[in-house]
Copies of this chain bind each other. A is one copy, B any other.
Amino acid sequence: MANQYIDLSTVRFLLYKVAELETVTKLPHYQDHNKESVEILIESVKDFADKELYPYIREMDEQPAHYKDGKIIVHPQIGTAIKKAGEMGLIVGSFTYEEGGLQMPATVSNTLDMIMEAANNHVIGYWGLTFGAAELLVSFGNEELKETYVPNMMEGKWGGTMCLTEPQAGSSLSDVKTTAYPQEDGSYKIKGQKIFISGGDHEYCENFVHLVLTRIEGAPAGTKGISLMVVPKHRITENGLEFNDVITAGDFQKMGQRGYCTTHLSFGENDDCQGWLVGTANEGLKHMFLMMNGARISVGRGAAAIVSAAYHASLQYAKERPQGRRVSNSGKKNVAEEQTLIINHPDVRRMLLLQKAVAEGSMSLVLEASKAYDLSVAAESQEEREKNHLLLELLTPMVKTYPSEKGITAVSNGLQVLGGYGFCSEFILQQYYRDIRIFSLYEGTTGIQSMDLLGRKMTMKGGKAAFILVEKIMESIQAANTHEDLKPYANTLGEHLQLSQKVAQFLMGFAMKGEYERFLSDATIFMEFFSNLTIAWQWLKIATAAKHGLITGDTTYTEEFYESKIHTMKFFYKYELAKNHSLSKVLMDENVLTIPTEQEVFVG
C-alpha cells in the first residue's frame, strides 16, 4: 500500500488481543466503551490522519514554524487540524463526562494519538499540551479557573502549554526563578523567562493558557518552594480579551520536528502580567508531576509512532527497489539473472525486522502502561488500583525512554535500507531521523529518566513496584509455556528475569552502603538493560496471543499475520534481548570510571 505509516491490523491486535482492552472496558467507569465504539473512533481518526495530517508532514518540515516580528508563524494546516481535532472531541476525549469529556480509557486515547502521530508527529503536541494544561486546571484549579479556561481549551480555540524550563535551570527544576508576587486581589504578578515552550504561540488560537512553575516571593529554595500558576497570554475581562504581558521573545530553530514551534516566553516585562495560583502554594511541582506520567507516556508514544512510520516507508522501498542478486551457495554471482528486490537481502531484512520489533514492541509497551493507568483509576478494588499505579510508575520512565532511544537506531536502520537515497531530502527517512532525535530530550532526558527508574521506581515502597512487574512477567512466561514451541523463549525470558534480579541486587548493595552516586552512576545502562527485558516481555505476550489465534483458528487476522508476530518475537530475542548478557557485565563491573575524582580525565 502506498504511503502507509501504521498498520491498523497490528494496532488492533495489540489493543484487543495483547493489551486486552476488554479488561478495561468491562469496568463500570468505562462501561460505555466497547470494541464497536472503539472501532468507530479508530476508523474516523485514521481517516482524519490520512486526509489532514499525513499529506502535510513534508511541508511542515520544509516550511518550519518560526518567529517573526514578535509572532510565531506556523503552517496553516496546523490551524485546520487543531480545529477539527476539537470538533471531533479528540483534545479532551479522556476527560470524564462531568469534566465534559468522553471518559475514554487512556488505552484508547493513546491508540488514537499513536495513529495520528505516525501520520504526522509535528501536530499532535499542539493539542496534547492543551489537554495537559486543561487537565491540571481540572484537577487542581478552583471552579472559577476551570470555568474561565477549560471550555475554550477543549474546543481547541485556546491553546495550552506547560512552562517548566528556564535558561539557567534546564533539567534542574530546583533552580526555577520565575517569581510570583502576591497581589491584594488574591492574584499574582508574574516575572520571569521560560524557554523550550512547545506550542507556546501561533495565530490559530486566540489565546494561550500557560501553566507556569513559579516561586512565590519569599518561598523556600528548591522544589519545595515551587507553585503552579495559570498565566494566560490574554486575560479575560468584561470587555473581552486583554493582553497580559506575556511576550513571545523568540523561538528555537530545531533540527527536526520543525512544524512544532518551540518558543521563548517572557512574563511581565512591563510589570503587567497576572497569574492565578492553581492548587496549593509550594506544591506546584507535585501537581505538575501528577500529570507527568501521562506526558512521558505521550513522548514514548510519539517516538514509537515515528518508528512505525519509518518502518513502513523503508519496507515499501525495499519491496519496490531491485538491486543486486541473492548470494548463491557457490558464492558466485550470476549476472545474467535479473536483479532481485532488496527485501531479499538478509541484511536488509535484518534492518526491517529490527524496526518492526522496536515499533511494535514499543507500541505494545505504550498500551501496557496506558492500561495500568486506566486500572489505577478505575479498577474495582483499592488494592488493584494501587498495584496498577505502582506498575505505571515503574513502567513510565521506560515507556518514555525505550522508543526514544532505540527508535533512533531503528529509524537509522530505515534510512540505511534506502542506501544513498535515505540521506537525500527527497525521501522522508532523513526527516524521521531528524524528528525522532528530540524524544530522548523531551520531558526529562534519558539520564533523568534512568535515575528515576533505578533511584526511585525500583526501590519505591520497598521494591513493591518491581515485584509487581516480576509477577506479571512470570504470568506471561507461564502462559507462553503452555505452547511447546514458545517454551524456549519463555525459558529465555525467565533466565533474563533472574539475571536482572541479580543485577538489581548488586546495584542496590551500593545504595544500602550509602554509596548513592555509585548506585546511580550507570543508571542509563540499567535503563537499557531493564527496558530490553520489558520489551522482551511484551514480545512474549504478543507471540502468545498470536499462537492462541493460530491454535483457535481465529480468522480475525491471517495465519501469516500471526506467524509474522512470532517470527518478530524470535528476532527480538536473538538480536536484542541477547544484549543483556553484555549489559549485565557492564553493570556488575567493579571498575568505577565515571565518578569525578581528583584525576583529570578529559585531557587531550
Q: Give A61 Cβ to nearest chain B Cβ, in Å.
A: 11
* A601 close to B (CB within 8 Å): yes
- Contacts A437-B433, A594-B347, A603-B564; is A424 near B328 (CB within 8 Å)? no
- Closest B-chain residue to A590, C-beta based? B574
B-contacting 9-mer, from A26-34, A203-211, A376-384, A443-451: A443-451
Contact present for B350 and A524 (CB under 8 Å): yes
What is the CB-to-nearest-CB distance from A282 to chain B, in angstroms, rounded to a whole number? Answer: 14
Cβ contacts under 8 Å, A430 to chain B: 254-255, 437
CA–CA, A589 and B350, complex, Å: 14
CB of A259, distance to nearest CB on chain B (Å): 14
- Interface 9-mer from A166-174, A237-245, A271-279: A166-174
Task: Check: A345 CB closer than 8 A to any chain B CB.
Answer: yes
**Any chain B CB within 8 A of the CB of A333?**
yes
Does A2 interact with chain B (Cβ within 8 Å)?
A: no
**A186 at the binding interface (Cβ < 8 Å):** no
> Which of A119-127, A137-145, A474-482, A580-588 lies at the binding interface?
A580-588
User: Among A346, A520, A600, which residue has the most Cβ atoms of chain B within 10 A?
Assistant: A346
Cα of A182 to Cα of B406 in the assembled complex, Å: 54
- Decide yes or no whether A77 CB sits under 8 A from chain B: no
Determine if A560 is an interface residue (Cβ-Cβ < 8 Å).
yes
Query: Given A315-B602, A416-B440, A416-B445, do A254 and B424 touch, yes or no (CB 8 Å)?
Result: yes
The copy count of this chain in the complex is 2
- Point out the residues of chain B lying under 8 angstroms from A595, CB to CB: 346, 349
Chain B residues near A561 (CB, 8 Å)? Answer: 603-604
Q: Are A255 and B333 in contact, CB atoms less than 8 angstroms apart?
A: no
Closest CB in chain B relative to A549 CB, distance in Å:
12
B-side contacts of A324, CB under 8 Å: 171-172, 174
Instruction: Please provide the chain A residues from 548 to 563 with a CB less than 8 Å away from any CB of chain B in the complex.
Output: 557-558, 560-561, 563
- Beyond the given A10-B604, A581-B585, please list 16 additional residue pairs across the A-B interface where CB-CB is below 8 A: A171-B324, A174-B335, A196-B420, A253-B426, A255-B424, A255-B434, A327-B517, A327-B520, A330-B516, A331-B455, A343-B602, A416-B440, A416-B447, A560-B603, A561-B603, A574-B593
What are 15 A-B interface contacts by the 8 Å CB criterion?
A172-B323, A174-B333, A254-B425, A255-B423, A255-B433, A256-B423, A343-B602, A346-B594, A348-B447, A350-B522, A356-B602, A412-B437, A419-B445, A564-B604, A578-B582
Is A291 on the interface with B (CB-CB < 8 A)?
A: no
Closest to A557 in B: B604
Say yes or no: B172 contacts A339, CB within 8 Å.
yes
Q: Which of B13, B175, B327, B557 is in CB contact (< 8 Å) with A339?
A: B175
Q: Which residues of B contact A593 (CB under 8 A)?
A: 353, 567, 570-571, 574
On chain B, the residues within 8 Å of A256 by CB distance are 423
Cα–Cα, bound, A440→B331 (Å): 24
Q: Is A460 located at the chain interface by the 8 A CB criterion?
A: no
- Number of A positions contacting B (CB below 8 A): 116
Closest to A195 in B: B420
Q: Is the CB of B578 within 8 A of A579?
A: no
A281 interface contact, C-beta 8 A: no
Q: Output the nearest chain B residue to A438 by Cβ-Cβ distance.
A: B423
CA distance A539 to B172 in the complex (A): 36
**Does A336 contact B221, Cβ atoms closer than 8 Å?**
yes
- Residues from chain B with Cβ under 8 Å of A339 in the complex: 169, 172, 175
Say yes or no: is A514 at the interface (Cβ < 8 Å to chain B): yes
Q: Are A425 and B255 in contact (CB under 8 A)?
A: yes
Which of chain B's residues have a CB closer than 8 A to the CB of A589? 574, 578
Instruction: Report yes or no: A346 in contact with B423, Cβ–Cβ below 8 A.
Output: no
Q: Which B-chain residue is minimally distant from A581 (CB atoms)?
A: B582
Residues in B neighbouring A586, C-beta threshold 8 A: 574-575, 578
A543 within 8 A of B: no
Q: What residues of chain B lie closer than 8 Å to A416, measured between beta carbons? A: 440-441, 445-447
Is A7 on the interface with B (CB-CB < 8 A)?
Answer: yes
Tell me if A228 is interfacial: C-beta within 8 Å of chain B. no
In the complex, A422 has a CB within 8 A of chain B: yes
Q: Is A187 an interface residue (CB 8 A)?
A: no
The complex places the Cα of A564 from the Cα of B511 at a distance, in Å, of 28
Q: Give the residue name and chain of the B residue nearest to A173 (CB).
A: B324
- Cβ of A217 under 8 Å from chain B: no
Closest to A360 in B: B604
- How many angstroms between the C-alpha atoms of A27 and B599 in the bound complex? 40
Q: Say if the beta carbon of A591 comes within 8 Å of chain B.
A: yes
Given contacts A172-B324, A324-B172, A516-B328, contact A564 B346 (CB under 8 A): no
Query: Is the C-beta of A462 less than 8 angstroms from some C-beta in chain B?
Result: no
* CB of A344 within 8 Å of the partner chain: yes
- Determine if B563 and A599 form an interchain contact, defined as CB atoms under 8 angstroms apart: yes
Q: What's the nearest-Cβ distance from chain B to residue A454, in Å?
A: 11
Interface of chain A residues 170 through 193 with chain B (CB within 8 A)? 170-172, 174-175
Q: Which residues of chain B have C-beta atoms less than 8 A from A522's C-beta?
A: 346, 350
Chain B CB within 8 A of A415 CB: yes
